[in-house]
Amino acid sequence: MKKINRKNIIERPKLKAFEKPIYVTRPLLPSIDEMTGKLKVIWESQWLTNNGAQHQMLEKKMTEALKVSNVSLFNNGTIALIVACQNLDLKGEVITTPFTFPATTHVLSWNRLTPVFCDIDPVTMNIDADKIEALITPRTSAILAVHVFGTPCDVEKIGKIAKKHNLKVIYDAAHAFGVEINGRGIANFGDISMFSFHATKLFHTAEGGALAYTNKKYKKQIDLLKNFGIADEETIILPGINGKMNEIQAALGLVTLKYVNDERKKRELIKKEYIKQLFGLKGISFLPEIKGVRNSYQYFVVRIDEKMFGRSRDYLYEKFKKFNVFTRKYFYPLCSQYECYAYLNSAKKEKLPVANKVVKEVLAMPFFGGLKVKDVKKICQIIKMIHTKWI
Ligand code: T4K
C-alpha cells in the first residue's frame, strides 16, 4: 500500500467562535473619570440644556472640525434633517437615493414631500448624478443626496444641475464626519449638510447631530426651528420643534472629540489589515479610494459578487453569526422596497437596477478602533474558508 505523504494534505484550520460578540461597531468612549470631571462642571452650573456653555463650546469646535463656517447642533441627525427641509421651505418632490438608512426618506415624508428615487452609481453607491436630470419635473424643489459610507457624492455635477434647475441641495452627511475634498470640509458643498452624532458614528454624542452650512443667514432660522420657534419669552415666530442637544450630550462630544484623530489612525490600520488579508480574493471588492478625498473611516464595507465568490452575501452574514461576529447588511432593504414607499412610480425595481443589485452585495464588517489585528485576521480567515466552501 502506498504511504500517504502527510505534507500533501491541506489541513482545514479549525476556527472557534469568538468568545465575546464582535459587533459591526463600538462607540469611542473617553475614560469615565474624564467624563465625570465634565459632569461635575455641569452639576455645579445647574444648567442642563437650552444652549448652555457645553453646547456653545461644542458648536464652535464643530465649525473647526468640519471646516465650515456655520454649525447648529441637534439632539439627533434625523430631527436635524427634518429642520433642514423646513429651513429651505421645500415643496413637492425631492430627488433622493433609495440606498440609505430609513431616516433619509422618512424625513421627506415628515415634511409631506414626495421622494423620487434615483438610481445609484455602481462604484460609489451614491446617487447617480447622471440620472438626476431625467427625474426633474415642475414639482421638484430639491435633491437630497447621501454621502454613503462617507464617500462624497459627485458634488460638482450635483451643484451644476441644482443651479441650472434652481433646486436646493441637502446632503445627508451622517457618515461623513471629517470628510474633505482637496482640503475643503464636505459641508461646504450644497445648501445644508446633516451630520449624525449617534453612538455608532466615529464622532458621537450618544445621540446627536448637526446641520452645517456656508450661508450665515440660515443660522437664525435654523436655531429658531429647533427651539419651538421661540424668539423671546413672549414671541414665537414660527412652528418649530424640539431639536436641542443637551449639556450632557455636548459634554460627551467635547471629551470624545479629543480622541477622534487617534481613533481614525487605529481604523486606518484596521482597514489596511482587512485589505491586506482579502486582497485578490475572487469575488470580494472594496470601496475605491478617491484622490484628494479625506476618508471618514466610518464603515469598512466589502462587496460580494456571488458568482465569483461562490457564496452569497447573505450566506456570509449568517455564517458569521455562528462565529459570534455581527456584520450588517447596510442598507438592505432599499428604501424603495419599504411598504410605505413601494407604491411610488420611482420605486419600481426596473427603474433602480443598480441599487437593486448593490443592495444584495454589501456587507459592513466589524470596524472600530478597539478591534484587534488578530481578530481582523480571524474574521478574514472565516471569509476565506467560506470562499473555499470549507464552511
Ligand atoms: N442618515 C443616514 C445615512 C444614517 O445612516 C443615519 C443613521 C441617519 C440619517 C439618522 O441619524 P440619527 O438620527 O441616528 O443621528 C445605527 C444607528 O442607530 C443610526 O444612527 C445609523 N444611521 C445606522 C447606520 O446605524 P442600527 O439600527 O444599525 O443600530 P444598532 O443599534 O443595531 O447598532 C449597531 C451596532 O453598534 C450594534 O450591533 C452594537 C453597536 N452599538 C450600538 C449602540 C447603539 C454599541 O456598541 N453601542 C451602542 O450604544 O442603526
Q: What is the pLDDT of residues 5-60, one digit of tens each?
A: 555 555 666 789 999 999 999 999 999 999 999 999 999 999 999 999 999 999 99
- Cell numbers found for residue 315: 450566506
In three-state secondary structure terms, 224 is helix
Question: Is 2 part of any domain?
Answer: no
Same domain, 190 and 274: no
**69 plus 207 within the same structural domain:** yes
pLDDT of residue 391: 84
Of 203, 224, 257, which closes a domain? 257
Identity at 370, one-letter amino acid code: G
Cβ contact 140:360 at 8 Å: no
Say if ligand 1 is within 6 A of residue 200 CB: yes
pLDDT of residue 2: 53
Q: 238 C-alpha vs ligand 1 centroid, how far in Å?
A: 31
For the CA of 76, the closest atom of ligand 1 is 15
According to the model, what pLDDT value does residue 385 have?
A: 94
Does residue 318 have a pLDDT over 80? yes
Does residue 124 carry a pLDDT above 60? yes
Residue 269 has pLDDT above 60, yes or no: yes
Mean pLDDT, range 381-388, rounded to an integer: 94
Average pLDDT, the chain: 96
Asked if 365 and 327 count as a contact pair (C-beta separation under 8 A), the reply is yes
Looking at residue 276, the DSSP 8-state letter turns out to be H
Question: pTM of the predicted model, to two decimals?
Answer: 0.96
As a whole number, mean pLDDT of residues 62-90 equals 98
- pLDDT number for residue 10: 58
- Whether residues 292 and 351 share a domain: the answer is yes
The verdict on residue 8 lying in a domain is: no
Closest Cα to atom 20, ligand 1: which residue? 198
Confidence band of 4 (pLDDT split at 50, 70, 90): low
The pLDDT of residue 326? 98
Q: Are residues 225 and 336 in the same domain?
A: no
pLDDT band at 389 (very low <50, low <70, confident <90, very high): confident
Higher pLDDT, 288 or 137: 137
* Ligand 1 centroid from CA 197, angstroms: 10
Task: Find out whether the beta carbon of 26 lies less than 6 Å from any atom of ligand 1.
Answer: yes
pLDDT at position 173 over 80: yes
Q: Kindly state whether residues 283 and 225 are assigned to the same domain.
A: no
CA of 364 to the centre of ligand 1 (A): 12
| Same-domain check for residues 113 and 47 | yes
**Based on the domain organization, do 136 and 158 belong to the same domain?**
yes
Q: Who contacts 123 (Cβ-Cβ below 8 Å, separation ≥6)?
A: 288
- Residue 209 in contact with ligand 1 by CB distance below 6 A: yes
User: Residues 94, 151: one domain?
Assistant: yes
- Which helix (H) or strand (E) segment holds residue 164: the answer is helix 155-165
Burial class (CB in 10 A: 0-12, 13-18, 19+), 220: exposed
Q: Is 104 in the pocket of ligand 1 (CB under 6 A)?
A: yes
| 251 contact partners, CB below 8 Å, separation of at least 6 | 35, 38, 39, 41, 42, 54
Q: Does any ligand 1 atom lie closer than 6 A to the CB of residue 206?
A: no
Q: What CATH code is carried by the domain that includes residue 354?
A: 3.90.1150.10
In a domain, residue 12? The reply is: no
Q: How many CB atoms lie within 10 A of CB 202?
A: 25
> Is 338 found in the same domain as 224?
no
State whether 245 and 302 are in the same domain.
no
- Ligand 1 pocket mutation pick from 26, 194, 198 by most atoms within 8 angstroms of CB: 198
Q: How far is CA 236 from CA 217, 240, 354, 388, in A?
A: 19, 9, 47, 66
Q: Which domain holds residue 300?
A: 19-26+261-387
Residue 3, pLDDT > 60, answer: no
CATH number for the domain that contains residue 115: 3.40.640.10
Per the structure, the count of domains in the chain is 2
